[in-house]
Structure 1
Amino acid sequence: MQRSAMFVDGSVHKMDRRRLFTAVVALTALMSGCSLVRGPAPDRDPAEIVDAAVCRMPQGSELLGLTPPTELMPAPAPRSGTVPSDFEPVAAITCDEWLANSVAADLTGSFAEHRWEGDFAAAIDKLNAPSEGQRLDQNSCGTASLAPIPDLWLIDAHGRALRPSYPVDDCGFLKIGGLREIEKLVQVDRIEHYVRHTPDSLQQLMGCSPRRVTPEIGSQRLVAEQYWVGSAVCRYTTDPDGSITFTGAEELQDSLGQTFFSLPPATECSSVASRTAGTTVTLAGPEDVEPLPVLVEIDGCRRVLIEEHIALQASEDVLAQVS
């Protein structure tokens, strides 16, 4: 009996298997390539040109209730966009995205405006590059960075200014190569803008107060990895008559981390410190747990006082960090 052609020498059967394999490979490639399928690229209009550049206030300023300095009083925000072909920048300014990491004794904070000059060709090429169409499979995109970027302005020879926008990639993320090109140029000037804090805004920003809090010594002990220390300190001086003066606040360069846990109990001492630094310790617990006040005696008995905890003897490292 003659076999069906499908099975003659297995050749037709092999052909079917090859076709099936090819179809599976093609389908797999199509499915894996869905993330590369893009919609239409978004259009960007040319940026609006205004009479002068005005720095945007740093991130979080509004939440802190800070009033912009006079030279930066709010003006209608111009439309950002591409750099027009007839706009020839001779300078750029970038404005810090964060307030400075220190506050003066009079509660003055600051942020800087930086002026850059040089050849802007590479920067404009990247600023005016077309955006990519949105990727069909947005789930294949990474996580967007929430870090703010400096406020950027371009300025021409007449002092006119515009705020450029950035192209986006297929995940909608800003492509900030133009900004990075500008930051490679020569910085020719730096202007400090000053803002005035209130005790409340200082507390929100630094986690400490211009009014010194002296913790009550207790009997509790810290548990390793069950607490964290504030990242900033407020500093104070004590005069011979006992009056206490706030001398400023600063974000620490290095975290105090778990250093308190390794400190030994303090020795008996009655000296009065003339220089102290205040911060906080937050114990692990419910989300609404209140931070505990901490006072480090930089001189005198050189103790670390934590509310309702035993007094600890400060190490040289701790004293160096908070001084």
Structure 2
Amino acid sequence: MRSGRTVLAVVVLGVALAGCGGADIGPGAADEPGPAQIVDAWTSCAKAAPRAGEVLTVPGTGTPAPAVDEPEIGRIDPAFTPIAAVLCGREIRPGATGGQEQVATERHTEEIAPLLTALRLPHQQVDGDVACTLDMVIPPWLALLDERGRWLRPYLPTDSCDKPRAEVNAALAGLPWTTVDTRTVGQVESPAAEAAGCAQQWADMVWVETTNGRPGPPTSLAAGPLRLCVYQVPASERGSAKPAGDFVYGGPLPPERQAGVLRGLANRRAVADCATPASRFAVLRPLNDVGPDRYVELDGCQRFLVAPPTGGAQLGQGDDTLAALLGLL
């Protein structure tokens, strides 16, 4: 089990793996930040920052948070004396009955001296060529409170790569935060998907590959034991650039059924001239993670795609028999 301090470090220093959303750090590197907007009274993260950490959201799960006007980020006015800090964010936690859920958190601390020292550091100017990594660090949603209950969002000084300075990250990770509120905002992985060993969502790669080009014909590829994961594509996703399907059922594919599936994937039928998006598709993945992934449209055009890890996807034509073999386990 991870400690609360470890979980906090993940939130503070988290790297965005999908999308480019998230909170702004503040003014650009070349700009002197203006004063931060002071808000009369703190309410809660749920009201002041309902989207904090939303970059972790899995599309199609949870209820979107309402839009909210956030105060201007900037420097701390000398007339504003901070006495506490609030950190709003999100975490992925095990669900009460299995699976994983996304939880919004609100944390407070009054021991903010190290943090204030770090926040008053200047931006690190670029001196010559600087090698910056391509990962995008999402800055934390941070607020400072004064003794009157007013609050503001401070500008986070950045390094030469326009990411929060290491001193800011270290100060945030080292403070004794107290969690004052948590709320579940969405399901990341259902208990059924976890039990099946499948991801909650997956992209219909047959549609992606055929939209972007014409993969070559399939070849015979040996396969060890396979795991079947079947996904339903919401109507709003069908025909999009990368249709996201939601988990329906899955699990290890029985050997006798796998033999028939592999025979169906080895046929040499011509691929139909078809552009009907599938409402369901299957993903077949090696149980030992060695070998290609296989995708099968269970309706629509009923095509299949073999995607070796080294590239060179192969497209073939399935049929009702193949789709039936991939029915409920």
Greater Rg, structure 1 or structure 2?
1
TM-score by length of 2: 0.46
